[in-house]
Structures are given as structure tokens and as C-alpha cells.
Amino acid sequence: MDARQQSLQELQQIKKMMERSSKFSSLSGLSGIAAGVCALVGIWLVVQTIAKWKQDHLKNIYAPEDELAKQLLVIAIVTFMAAAIFSFIFIFLRCKKLGIPVLGRSARRVIINIAIPLFAGALFIFRLSTLGTYELIAPACLIFYGIALVNASKYTLDEIRYMGLTELVIGIINLWILGYGLIFWGIGFGLVHIIYGVIIWWKYERNQTETL
Amino acid sequence: MSNPIENLNKTFDSRVRLGIMSTLIVNDQINFNDLKQLIGVTDGNLASHIKALEEIGYIKVNKGFIGKKTNTTYTITKLGEKSFQQHLGALEKMIKTMK
């Protein structure tokens, strides 16, 4: 090996160490795909539940709105938890494969930087719902989620930044097309997750022999 | 014509030292265990390289506590930063001039 090749290799190793120590790069595209599928299933259940409630209402069967709201809330919580659990499982498996600690320092930074805007967003959305401005809930979810992703993207794959920007744009468009929240959720939490999941999988995981 | 190899810093000959410097140049500070995990070496090996870099004055050792447990963190010094940048420059030059 000549000196030039040696220098190249050394530089590459330095770059790898810099990235590895400052970024959490063992995200799994499969997590995104799983989260997106969960979101779409959840939204489908919501649509079905609302349709059934409307039918009952028309047939004069007793169907209180409280009951509907409760059912929708349960669906939302189960969907969110399923998405979170599946995402975690795939990230966990990827970390194990690459031999990287799951809750290492860079992963912790990603989590904290996602959590701060999401926490503020949760309070904001809770307040929106208590004030009865339901139409703003869907765009607010998308916008805060987008901000959270952009914020955390400094410490992880670049794709997360673009995914965050995509969520932001979808949320902002939703602000001017109120009342179609479910469709925008389907796009933002369903399709966008699946698309970026496929991109990340294609780019980083397709060749499983590649290691850090 | 000067030989570009002369500009390479001998201190950075080892993979472990290179790893320590690369990590510290992009992180404000880092503790022993995280560094160990990142580079993938034994305690003793890492400790000896840290000591060497500290003695030359490239890195600074900060002893602190988290509760009752000791938490030793490392930061890069101005001199360390400068030397590492020079080393990077020399590497780049080698690649460019020896085509």
C-alpha cells in the first residue's frame, strides 16, 4: 500500500469517527415503514368508527358523542403506542447488528431533542382541544412533529431533516384546508414515514454487509 | 520539494489516538466509557493513549462527580486542535500531490 492510499484510509477513518461520535446513524428504515403502516391502520379504524357512529345516529340508535370521542382516543393511543414499539424494535435490532449501544450518548441526544418540541406541542394541542378548536389539532400535530424532527436531525441521519421539513409543509398546507385533518394525517404520518423509511432502508440497509 | 510526509504528526500514528482526537474535535467533551465504546478498545489501552495525549498537551482531563461516582471527561486543547488540523492538512496534501 502506498503512502497516498494510506493517507486516504486514515482520512476516511477520521471522518467515520467524527460522524459516529456525533450522530446516531443506526436508525432503521423498517421503523419508518412500520410506523407509517400503523398510522394508516389507525386512520382507517378511525374512519370506520366515525362511519358506524354516523349510521347509528341516522337510524336513531343511541350513540352519544362522548362514547365516540372515547373510542377515537383509545384508537389514537393504541396506534401511537404500536408505532412507537415497532419503531423501537427495528432500531434495537439494527443497533445490535452494528454493535452500537441502543441508548448511547448520541441516541440520548436525539431523544431529548425530539422530546422538547413534542412536549410543548402536546401541551399546545391539549389546550386547543379544551378550547374546542378541533380543526387545528391535525395541522398542529404535523407542525410540531416536523419541528421536532428538524431539531433532532443535527444528531442523526440527514434524511430526518428532510422528513421533518416535509411534515412541516404538509402541516402548514393543512392550516388552509381545515377539516381534512385525517387525510393530512394519512399523508404526513402514514405515507411520509413509509417513503422515508424505504429511502433510509435502501440507502443504508440494503447491503447488510456494510458495517460502521 | 519538501516531503509532505514530514508534516504528518507522529503522535497520531496510532488508530486509538486518531480515534480520540477525531471524537474530541467534534464533541465538546466526552467521558471515558463513551470513548471506550466508540473506539472499541480495552480500558488499559485507552488509558495509556489518553495519558500520552495529555502529556503532550493535546487533551485536557477533567475530573468530576455525578453523585458519588467519579465522572472523568476529556476535552481537546487549543494546541491539540491546531496540531490535529495540521495533521489533516498534511494528509490532504499527500493525497493531492501524489496523484
Question: pLDDT (tens digit, 9 = 90+) per residue, A150-188?
Answer: 999 989 999 999 999 999 999 999 999 998 999 999 999
pLDDT, tens digit, 9 for 90 and up, residues B34-76: 888 888 889 999 999 999 999 999 999 998 888 888 888 999 9
> What per-residue confidence (pLDDT) applies to B3?
60
Closest residue, chain A, to B23 (C-alpha): A18
Residues 6 or more apart whose CB falls under 8 angstroms from that of A142 comprise A167, A168, A170, A171, A174, A184, A185, A188, A189
Nearest-by-Cβ selection for A105 from B26, B34, B92: B34
Residues 6 or more apart whose CB falls under 8 angstroms from that of A85 comprise none
Residue B64 carries which DSSP code? E
Determine the distance in angstroms separating the CA of B27 from the nearest CA of chain A, rounded to an integer. 7
What is the reported pTM? Answer: 0.77
Confidence of residue B99 (pLDDT cuts 50, 70, 90): low
pLDDT, tens digit, 9 for 90 and up, residues A58-115: 888 777 888 888 999 999 999 999 999 999 999 999 888 877 777 777 888 899 999 9
Closest residue, chain B, to A98 (C-alpha): B38
The answer, for A9 touching chain B at a CB cutoff of 8 Å, is no
Q: Beta partners for B60? A: B75
A18 vs A208, higher pLDDT: A18
Q: Chain A contacts of B95, Cβ < 8 Å? A: 4, 7-8, 11
Extract long-range pairs of A178-184: CB within 8 Å, 24+ residues apart.
Answer: A178/A135, A178/A136, A178/A139, A179/A135, A181/A135, A181/A137, A181/A138, A181/A139, A182/A43, A182/A46, A182/A47, A182/A138, A184/A138, A184/A139, A184/A142
The answer, for A98 touching chain B at a CB cutoff of 8 Å, is no
pLDDT, tens digit, 9 for 90 and up, residues B19-40: 999 999 988 888 888 888 888 8
CB contact under 8 A, A21 and B30: yes
| Residue B6: pLDDT over 80 | no
CB contact under 8 A, A21 and B22: yes
The answer, for A5 touching chain B at a CB cutoff of 8 Å, is no
| Residue B4: pLDDT over 50 | yes
> What per-residue confidence (pLDDT) applies to A1?
58
> What per-residue confidence (pLDDT) applies to B2?
53
Whole-number average pLDDT of chain A = 90
> What per-residue confidence (pLDDT) applies to B34?
83
pLDDT, tens digit, 9 for 90 and up, residues A109-119: 899 999 999 99
Please give the class, per CATH, of domain B4-92. mainly alpha
Dist. CA A114–CA B97, nearest whole Å: 45
Determine the distance in angstroms separating the CA of A106 from the nearest CA of chain B, rounded to an integer. 10
